[in-house]
């Protein structure tokens, strides 16, 4: 009888160079109105993930949360459906809809079975065209976000992160603005509607689809999103300019009663499009990008100064930065 021998777990596997890396290329089509659609046809289950991405084409430092709130509250009601009715429809078809907000873009993401696409796509289109941001839902959002911000302001790590970005980019830029409770409280339903009409338009939209793509996908997308009825006539500049502040400065922010101190060290750096980015990404992984990194083995395991420490590269549309972050005892 042949007995299978188990590998010797005390010996690390041999290092082998990666000689071939097959990455599937995305397909690309355009809808009738010019919306680019990028697709990855992969997977074995009959479902897809569709993301509608919209660029942030304007930023008002006096109203810095318009883009986040307008996107987050898209599902909270239209002129024809309440938030509950929208949620019930999505749930009935076993689908899932979520929003994502970033410093350069916002998006709404749909996960659904292929057979329900004809039912789900009109719902998404209705949100883009007719979200009304009911006062009741907006009030709940304000209350929840102010409470969340109050909790975050008690965490030294959150304070360090937000202050670090403000020092890099300044309060007048979407990368660096420092949110306060007043910013949430001043959100206005009519301003949110106006923002939606200006930004959720076909000439500001890109669609990404991944999954086991149905044969009629392009036809369905063009049917519901390929018309010109939702194209804006306004011209808005997407470049907001980045003025880096003095990267050599030091800043101390006291938090009375804190039992730990957060430390964040960093500097402006290049973006993902820079030819040096891949090498820097590997370097960052070795330095502080995973649990067994040099920072963890030296600062945590060897010296015992902290429970956790790490580093990261952040790449955005107009700028990038590198940072090292940790928390230590306040003493």
**H/E element, 208:** strand 205-211
Angle between helices 189-199 and 135-152 (to 10 degrees): 90
* Eight-state DSSP code of residue 261: E
CA distance 202 to 145: 30
CA distance 7 to 258: 49
For the chain, give me the number of helices (H) and strands (E)? 10, 9
pLDDT at 57: 85
Give the residue-averaged pLDDT of 93-102: 97
pLDDT at 238: 57
Q: What is the pLDDT of residues 148-181, one digit of tens each?
A: 999 999 999 999 999 999 988 888 889 998 899 9
**H/E element, 107:** strand 105-113
Are 126 and 81 contacting, i.e. CB atoms less than 8 angstroms apart?
yes
Residue the block writes with tokens 């509607």: 193
Contacts 24+ apart (CB under 8 A), 228-231: 228/32, 228/33, 228/202, 230/128, 230/129, 230/200, 230/201, 230/202, 231/33, 231/201, 231/202, 231/203
CA angle 205, 213, 44 (to 5 degrees): 135
Q: Is the dihedral of CA 202, 208, 214, 218 positive or negative?
A: positive
Q: Which has the minimum average pLDDT: 82-96, 113-127, 167-181, 182-196?
A: 167-181
CA distance 194 to 89: 26
Q: Taking the complete model, does pTM exceed 0.75, yes or no?
A: yes
pLDDT at 1: 45
CA distance 137 to 311: 38
CA distance 310 to 180: 27
Closest CA to 112 of 96, 99, 136: 96
CA distance 263 to 308: 11
* Strands 205-211 and 47-55, sheet pairing: antiparallel
Average pLDDT score, the chain: 92
Closest CA to 221 of 130, 118, 126: 118
Q: What is the pLDDT of residues 220-275, one digit of tens each?
A: 999 999 998 888 756 555 556 666 666 568 888 898 888 899 999 999 999 999 99
Give the residue-averaged pLDDT of 130-153: 97
Residues 61-86 as b/e (b if ≥16 CB within 10 A, e otherwise) read eebbbbbbbbbbbbbbbbeebebeeb
Contacts 24+ apart (CB under 8 A), 90-98: 90/120, 90/123, 93/119, 93/120, 95/120, 97/123, 97/124
* Domains of the chain by start residue, with CATH: 27-225 (3.30.830.10), 260-329 (3.30.830.10)
């Amino acid at each position: 009888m042949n007995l299978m021998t188990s590998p010797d777990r005390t010996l690390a596997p041999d290092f082998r160079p990666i000689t071939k890396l097959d990455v599937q290329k995305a397909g690309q089509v355009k809808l009738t109105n010019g919306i680019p659609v990028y697709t990855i046809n992969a997977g074995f289950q009959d479902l897809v993930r569709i993301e509608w991405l919209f660029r942030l084409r304007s930023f008002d430092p006096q109203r810095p949360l318009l883009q986040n709130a307008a996107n987050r509250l898209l599902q909270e009601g239209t002129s024809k459906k309440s938030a509950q009715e929208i949620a019930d429809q999505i749930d009935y078809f076993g689908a899932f809809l979520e929003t994502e907000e970033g410093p350069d873009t916002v998006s709404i993401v749909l996960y659904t079975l292929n057979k329900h696409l004809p039912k789900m796509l009109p719902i998404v289109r209705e949100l883009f065209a007719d979200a009304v941001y009911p006062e009741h839902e907006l009030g709940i959002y304000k209350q929840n976000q102010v409470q969340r911000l109050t909790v975050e302001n008690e965490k030294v790590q959150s304070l360090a992160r937000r202050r670090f970005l403000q020092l890099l980019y300044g309060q007048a830029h979407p990368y660096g603005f420092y949110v306060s409770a007043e910013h949430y409280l001043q959100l206005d339903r009519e301003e949110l509607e106006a923002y939606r009409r200006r930004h959720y338009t076909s000439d500001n939209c890109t669609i990404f689809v991944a999954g086991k793509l149905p044969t009629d996908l392009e036809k369905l997308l063009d049917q519901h999103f390929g018309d010109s009825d939702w194209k804006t006539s306004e011209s808005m500049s997407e470049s907001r300019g980045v003025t880096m502040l003095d990267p050599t400065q030091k800043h101390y922010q006291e938090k009375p009663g804190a039992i730990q101190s957060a430390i964040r060290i960093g500097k402006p750096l290049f973006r993902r499009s820079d030819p040096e980015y891949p090498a820097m990404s590997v370097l960052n992984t070795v330095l502080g990008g995973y649990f067994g990194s040099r920072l963890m083995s030296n600062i945590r395991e060897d010296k015992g100064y902290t429970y956790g420490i790490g580093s990261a590269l952040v790449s955005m549309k107009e700028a990038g930065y590198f940072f090292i972050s940790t928390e230590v005892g306040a003493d």
